Amino acid sequence: MPDTVVALGEQALLEGFQLAGASIYAAETDDEVRRAWTALPDNAGVVILTPRAAGALGTALTDPHSPMTVVLPS
């Protein structure tokens, strides 16, 4: 059952989410974002993305088997 909140993207933008209990997947480049996306735990229910991370993932976000995503405002 999906129950984990994950934050994916640039470390500097995600630090506060770790304090709230989210698992942080720091990724500074597009390639790192894509690798982190494929390494998300099976129980990831919500993924908070930085705008850059969302752009790097592109159409992967529309896969119906992907976790729900939220993109931070730019």
Rounded to two decimals, what is the model's pTM?
0.93
44 within 8 A of 25, measured Cβ to Cβ: no
Q: What residues does 7 pair with on adjacent strands?
A: 24, 48
pLDDT-based confidence at residue 6 (cuts at 50, 70, 90): very high
Question: What is the number of domains present in the chain?
Answer: 1
Residue 30: CATH number of its domain = 3.40.50.10580
User: pLDDT (tens digit, 9 = 90+) per residue, 17-69?
Assistant: 999 999 999 999 999 999 999 999 999 999 999 999 999 999 999 999 999 99
The domain of 28 spans 4-71
